[in-house]
């Protein structure tokens, strides 16, 4: 069975390892692919450069986006996505350690579909992964035609 691709934009390797472990412990329904900065994320989404082979780098069904990324931060990525919405209709969940209202408001204004403050406890991270699988992959209905 083909797994849904979860594209994770995260520069902190310990957060990446915790997320990989949570995905594995919850049944591994996601194929996690990681990029380490905002420029790599944009290249991946465009299928450009290193990421031009869609067999090796399949299109994501969901993106987890850290805000504090090197090169281009998460806000810059969200702004870029706004100008390319026709080609990139997948949901973007901001996954940040920031619980500042100003960051949350700005992320939503820039088109984030959801905002999650990174859970510190492994069991809460597993609950978040289960919720992502349930909502975005099982319950949410996606548009089948391009936006107008």
Instruction: Print pLDDT tens along the chain (148 aa).
Output: 678 899 999 999 999 999 999 999 998 788 999 999 999 999 999 999 999 999 999 999 999 999 999 999 999 999 999 988 665 678 999 999 999 999 999 999 999 999 999 998 989 999 999 999 988 887 777 766 544 3
Q: Which helix (H) or strand (E) holds 5?
A: strand 4-9
- The angle at the Cα of 89, spanning 65 to 4, to the nearest 5 degrees, equals 65
- The domain spans of the chain are 4-139
For the stretch 42-78, pLDDT in tens is 999 999 999 999 999 999 999 999 999 999 999 999 9
Give the C-alpha separation, 70 to 38, whole Å. Answer: 7
Q: State the residue for tokens 């090197």.
A: 70
CA nearest neighbour of 76 among 67, 89, 63: 67
**pTM score above 0.85:** yes
* 4-139 topology per CATH: Rossmann fold (3.40.50)
């Amino acid at each position: 069975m083909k797994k849904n691709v979860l594209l994770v934009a995260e520069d902190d390797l310990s957060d990446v390892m915790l997320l990989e472990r949570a995905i594995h412990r919850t049944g591994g329904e996601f194929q996690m692919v990681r990029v380490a900065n905002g420029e790599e994320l944009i290249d991946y989404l465009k299928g450009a450069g290193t990421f031009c082979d869609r067999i090796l780098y399949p299109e994501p069904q969901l993106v987890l986006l850290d805000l504090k990324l090197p090169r281009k931060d998460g806000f810059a990525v969200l702004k870029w996505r706004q100008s390319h919405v026709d080609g990139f209709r997948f949901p973007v969940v901001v996954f940040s350690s920031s619980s500042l209202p100003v960051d949350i408001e700005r992320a939503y204004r820039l088109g984030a579909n959801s905002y999650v403050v990174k859970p510190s406890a492994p069991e809460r991270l597993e609950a978040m992964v289960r919720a992502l699988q349930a909502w975005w992959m099982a319950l949410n209905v996606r548009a089948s035609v391009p936006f107008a």
